[in-house]
Structure 1
Amino acid sequence: MNKTHQPRATSLNILFCALLATSIGQSVMLTTLPSMGREAGLSEFHIAIIMSSSAFIFAIGTSFWSRVAKHKGYRKLLMVGLAGYSIGTFAFAGMWSLGYAGVLCGSALFFALLITRSLQSTIMSASPPCAVGYAIRISSDQQRVGAISRVTSANNVGQLFGPVYAGALVSFGLVTPLYSVVVFTLLAFVLVWRKLPTIQTSPSLQSQTNQPTLAKPAKGITLILVLSCASIFCAMAMMQQTLGFFFIDHYGKSPVQSAQQVGIAMMLSAATSLSIQILVVQKARFSADNLIRIALPLLCVAYLLMFIHQHIYTLYIAMLLMGLGMGMGYPSLAAVATSYCAPENQAKVTGYITATPAMGYILGPPLAAALYQGDIHAPFLAASVLLAVFTMIVFFLVRAKNK
């Protein structure tokens, strides 16, 4: 038992480190992007389009890479994703540097940023489905929620460390944090290359892939759970698109101060999310269905508090609640969705689940930017309403399933 448990634990730790490196990079980018855009003279819509377009490509990429990895190997494609992230981040940061140097400006800068970020998303989208798919392959059904939570908790650690890291480095220049995160993804690439074992496709899975006529479409409840995952990331994207500008326009902060305040808010959310995953989710203290019932209402309340808040400390309380909801919600929805589908559809559903963050970021930023023009509080209300709708749908479906 110990002989099999130890390699599995080591592999999960390596997968955690791989996703941690990319999560830090994403967190740094999201923390600084509104401030960088405002400093470079780009509008809220410019930033929203960059985020939304790259997310659209990322969503398509995760589904594509998930199916490719099933045949080519999760480890190999994970290294491709990490290498693409490193090169793409360096190129994206370089475009910002050219903008601040006056070499690029206005539309030229916008299109240069859009192209480099989109190209980066094309390759880096290989990492999440490969890491999650690898974790599922080496875990039993009973271990699945814990394994997914353990690997995806890297996102929470990255959101905890990334904003603080960005806030510390922005005083040396808004683009400095972006350049520096390339080191983390390169180290993760070396770790996967040297230490992560290669796993082979099992005979049963191989025979299933050779017989596509046996594949069955995902059940309706599985698709609803995937869309619910996308909705929680859409709400999160609306918040992240809004928060940097909100601190500037509502609280009168400078771009650097705004990036630092966003960092504090995201750090609080990530800390609670990570804590709930370690103390509750990974220890399987509640079933996945019960965690979903707790998480979705918490998220609704969190965004409603952001909408009605009158003081910055109320906003921080809302971020804490959001962290609790995200920490319980995403791994539980992911585990239930992959459990409900037929075994031959697991790779497809895994691809959809790992694409849900990108799905959310396709719609969230432009919707938030449009609402922000009318009322700077409106994106928070829209996020709360969106989640309330999916909460009611999921509650109804889960109750019907358990009858």
Structure 2
Amino acid sequence: MEKANKVKGSIFFSIFVAMLGLMLIAPIMPPLIRELGLKAGHSGLIISLGSIMMAVMAPVWGKLSDKLGRKPVILAGFAGMTIACALFAAALYAGLQGVIQGGLLLGALIVTRSLIGGFIPAVLSSCQAYMGDITEGEERTKGMALISAANGLGLVFGPAIAGAFTLVGLLWPLYFGIVVSAVAFVIAWMSIPAARPVYRTETTEKLRLKNSGMTSYLFAGMGVMMAIVTLQVVGGFYFQDILDLSSGATARTVSFGLMAAGIAMLLVQVFQMKKLTWPPRRMIAVGAIFAVVGLLMFLLPGGLPLYYAAFFVFGAGAGLLMPGFMAGASLAAGAGKQGGAAGWVASMQGIAAIIAPLLMTGLYSVNLRIPFALSALLIAVSAAVLGLSRPDKKVALPEAEAS
């Protein structure tokens, strides 16, 4: 039990650092792009290509963790994050100093940001797979709630820490990211036990989505991740337009709203770990109700208290949906395929980060309420599809992993 708790603590910290590294970049990109003399569209290109790399590499890293073991891939992820973040900071510094400009600068930023996006899912997918290795049944849902809480913590503290460091300088959040990734590498190396590879490729069947029962859970995951990205991307425009806020007030409103959602996610996930023993399907069903109500609250006429309440209600729903779809996909994949399952789960975040900004900003230009209504519809439909699918089969852990 003590060893398992130590592993869970290391997984929590690793996921938190990976998400922190991702979220440290977003707040500083707009002002940096302007300082570098690039266009706003270049910022979207840099971030979108990094998200594509995340989506592509997540399943790859997950499968590698099945073959090579969880710890080596986690260490590779943190080592890669440290180097890639340093290269990204170096490219930005060179651009600010006028050493490189124009297309060469843009290319350097795209490549180095894509490297960051490529290495982050090594940590995310391997840590989730490790949690799947050491838990089963009700413990699996609690374990995934722990991972989801680490995600939520990174989402809340990433922008806050970045904002604090920008008081020193625009590149200082990246310097902090380099240091914390290097520290996480050392902590993971010292605290995460080395586990044997889960299976050998020549004797084990590959994970197939159409046969694994994972598809419905991944669809549910896509729904909630699309909604989260929509709030991040469209929320600022929406509140500025309907409340006639200044740029500074808009930034504060979105920041406080996302913090309210993050706090709700954490509270629900702590309650899930301590008290609830709900299976994944029930978590998704109840979570969908809260998330849909929260999104629809944004469409009501009102002031900031109503919208902060909407953020909180949505966050409570997301706090059930995220560990629900993670645990459901993990259980549906079966023993010996946790790396592949975790890779697909991690890729949902990257795919949502690619689709949602383009789709929702386009729809926003048609009608400012469509993105919220569509997000609510996607979550409701995904929960309904899961409810109509076949019940999950219970899968025991392999003897080697259970020991």
Query: Could you tell me the TM-score, scaled by structure 2's length?
Result: 0.86
Range with greater deviation from structure 2 (367-376 or 214-223): 214-223
Over 3 Å counting, the alpha-carbon distance change for 1:103 and 1:303 in structure 2 is farther
Deviations 1:276-305 (A, max 9, x none): 111124543423221111111222222233
Q: What SS does the aligned partner of 1:172 have?
A: coil
Number of the residue aligned with 1:313? 305
Is contact 2:165–2:172 with CA below 8 Å preserved after alignment? Answer: yes
Distance in 2 of aligned mates of 1:97 and 1:45: 20
**Structure 1 unpaired stretches of 5+:** none
Q: Which residue of structure 1 lines up, in the alignment, with residue 372 of structure 2?
A: 380
User: CA separation of 1:215/1:161 partners in 2, compared to 1, >3 Å: closer, same or farther?
Assistant: closer
Residues 107-138 of structure 1, C-alpha deviation per residue, up to 9 Å, x if partnerless?
65544432221122122221111111111112
Q: Is the 8 A contact 2:284 2:325 kept in 1?
A: yes
Q: 1:300 to 1:107 in 2, by over 3 A?
A: farther
Distance 1:138 1:59, change over 3 A: same
Q: Using the alignment, how far apart are the partners of 2:270 and 2:70 within structure 1?
A: 25
Greater share of helix = 1
**Counterparts of 1:225-374 in structure 2 under 5 Å?**
225-246=217-238, 251-254=244-247, 259-308=251-300, 310-374=302-366
Q: Alpha-carbon deviation of 1:324?
A: 0.8
Tell me by how many angstroms 1:144 deviates. Answer: 1.1
Which residue of the partner structure matches residue 394 of structure 1? 386
**Which one-letter code corresponds to 1:76 in the other structure?**
P
Q: Return the offset for 1:267.
A: 1.6
Q: How far apart, in 1, do the equivalents of 2:392 and 2:188 lie?
A: 43
Distance 2:284 2:290 in 1: 10
Matching residue within 139, 156, 163 for 2:159: 163
Distance in 1, matches of 2:129 and 2:263, equals: 25
Matched, 1:120 2:116: yes
Distance 1:248 1:42 in 2: 25
The answer to whether 1:71 aligns with 2:67 is yes
1:393/1:76 Cα in 2 relative to 1: closer, same or farther (>3 Å)? same
The aligned residue for residue 152 of structure 1 is: 148
2:177 aligns with 181
Which residue identity is paired with 2:111?
I
Tell me which amino acid in the other structure corresponds to 1:368.
Answer: M
Cα pair 2:212 2:333 within 8 Å, conserved: no
Question: By how many angstroms is 1:44 displaced?
Answer: 5.7
8 Å contact kept, 2:281–2:386: no
Contact 1:145 1:335 in 2 (8 A): yes
Taking the aligned partners of 2:267 and 2:256, their CA distance within structure 1 comes to: 17
Provide, for residues 147-206 of structure 1, a one-character-per-residue CA deviation record: whole Å limited to 9, x for no partner: 22223321111223223223333333444323322222221111001121101136xx44
Is structure 2 residue 126 aligned with structure 1 residue 130?
Answer: yes
Q: 1:178 to 1:328 in 2, by over 3 A?
A: same
Letter in 2 for 1:269: A
C-alpha separation in 2, matches of 1:245 and 1:294: 29
Q: CA deviation at 1:331?
A: 1.0
C-alpha change, 1:267 and 1:90, in structure 2 (3 Å) is farther
- Contact 1:49/1:366 (<8 A) preserved: no
Deviations 1:377-398 (A, max 9, x none): 5433332232233233223226
Unaligned 5+ runs, structure 2: 394-403
**Correspondence for 2:11 among 11, 15, 18:** 15
Q: Provide closer, same or farther for how the CA distance between residues 387 and 104 of structure 1 changes in structure 2, counting only shifts above 3 A.
A: farther
Task: Measure the CA separation in 2 of the matches of 1:369 and 1:340.
Answer: 34
Aligned residue type for 1:169: F
Distance in 2, matches of 1:247 and 1:112, equals 34
> How many angstroms apart in 2 are the aligned matches of 1:118 and 1:169?
23
Structure 1 length as normaliser, TM-score? Answer: 0.86
The SS at the match of 1:271 is: helix
Structure 1 CA distance for aligned equivalents of residues 99 and 358 of structure 2: 27
Residue 13 (structure 1) shift: 0.3
Instruction: Write the distance in 1 (CA, Å) between the matches of 2:327 and 2:360.
Output: 29
- In structure 2, do the counterparts of structure 1 residues 301 and 90 end up closer, same or farther at CA, with 3 Å as the change threshold? farther
Tell me, yes or no, if the aligned pair for 1:30 and 1:240 is still in contact at 8 Å. no
1:39 and 1:242 map into 2 onto residues whose CA distance is 24
Contact 2:141 2:324 in 1 (8 A): yes
Residue 224 (structure 1) aligns with:
216
**Matches of 1:43 and 1:228, distance apart in 2:** 35
Give the structure 2 partner of residue 89 of structure 1: 85
Query: Once superposed, what is the RMSD of the aligned Cα atoms?
Result: 3.0
Per-residue CA deviations over 1:306-351 (Å, capped at 9, x if unaligned) read 3445423322222212211121111111111222234354432222
CA distance in 2, matches of 1:88, 1:245: 32
Distance 1:213 1:182, change over 3 A: closer
- Asked whether the 8 Å contact 2:21–2:158 carries over to 1, the reply is yes
Aligned residue number for residue 197 of structure 1: 193
**Bigger shift: residues 77-86 or 111-120:** 111-120
